[in-house]
Amino acid sequence: MAVSIEWYLLLSAAVFSIGLFGILVRQNALMFLMSVELLLNAANINFVAFSLYWGNLTGQLFALIVIALAAAEVAVGIGIILVVNRNFDNIDVTEAATMRW
């Protein structure tokens, strides 16, 4: 039997909230990056759930694109983290604040 749509949405909201909490409070850049991944995947869950609900493949297609995007983003993000580490000797996101004005 199929799981009803509300459960998917609830799961998605929970994952999103965990991600949001992560980017608001984490100082470690790696954790920060992972939180962003959680946000993206919360959206993916929604896409796939509604795709199943409506019987329309467009949502799944979008999910694939978001996964590709997330992969690229991680590559760039980790690059940035490496540079931050080289410059500040740690990867605390609150310390890399010297380029504001």
Partner 1 sequence: MVGKLSAVVLFGPGIEAAELTALFPLLTFIIILFFGRYLPLKGAIPGILATGGALAVSLWGVADIATGAGPRQETLLTFVEGVAGDGVTLTFGILIDPLAILMLTIVSLISFLVHIFSLGYMNDEGEIDLPRYYAGLSLFTFSMMAFVFSDNLLMSFVFFELVGLCSFILIGFWFREAGPPSAAKKAFLVTRFGDYFFLIGVVAVLGTFGTAQFAGADSFVSIATEQLENGGTIMNTFLGFGDGAWITVIGLLVLGGVLGKSAQFPFHTWLPDAMEGPTPVSALIHAATMVAAGVYLVARMYGFYVLSPTALSIIALVGGFTAFFAATMALVKQELKQVLAYSTISQYGYMMLALGGGGYVAAVFHLTTHAIFKALLFLGAGSVIIAMHHKENMWEMGGLRSEMRVTYLTFLAGSLALAGIFPFAGFWSKDEVLFETLAHGLGGSPVLLVAYAFGALAVVLTGFYTFRMVFLTFHGEPRTELAADPEPVRWNVKFPLAVLGVLSVVAGFINMGVLKEIIGEGNLFLHEFLDGKTMDADLDSVGLSAHHYAEVLESDFAAGYEVAELNPLGPGAVATVLAVVPVVAAWYLFRGPDVEPKMTKLGSVRTLLMNNYYQDEYQVWLARGLTLPAAKVANKFDQGIIDGVVDGAGGVSLFAGERFRKIQTGVVTNYAALLTLGFLLLALVFALVGGWI
Residues that bind partner 1 (CB under 8 A): 20, 23-27, 32, 93-94, 96-101
Q: How far is the CB of 24 from partner 1 (least distance, A)?
A: 6
CB-wise, 11 or 20, nearer to partner 1? Answer: 20
CB-wise, 54 or 88, nearer to partner 1? Answer: 88
Quote the Cα angle for 83-31-47, to 5°.
110
Q: How far is the CB of 23 from partner 1 (least distance, A)?
A: 4
Q: How far is the CB of 78 from partner 1 (least distance, A)?
A: 15
Tokens found for residue 15: 């994952």
CB-wise, 19 or 59, nearer to partner 1? Answer: 19
Distance CA 4, CA 74 (A): 32
| Of 83, 82, 77, 68, nearest in space to 32 by CA | 77
* Virtual torsion, Cα 78, 83, 86, 89, nearest 10 deg: -70
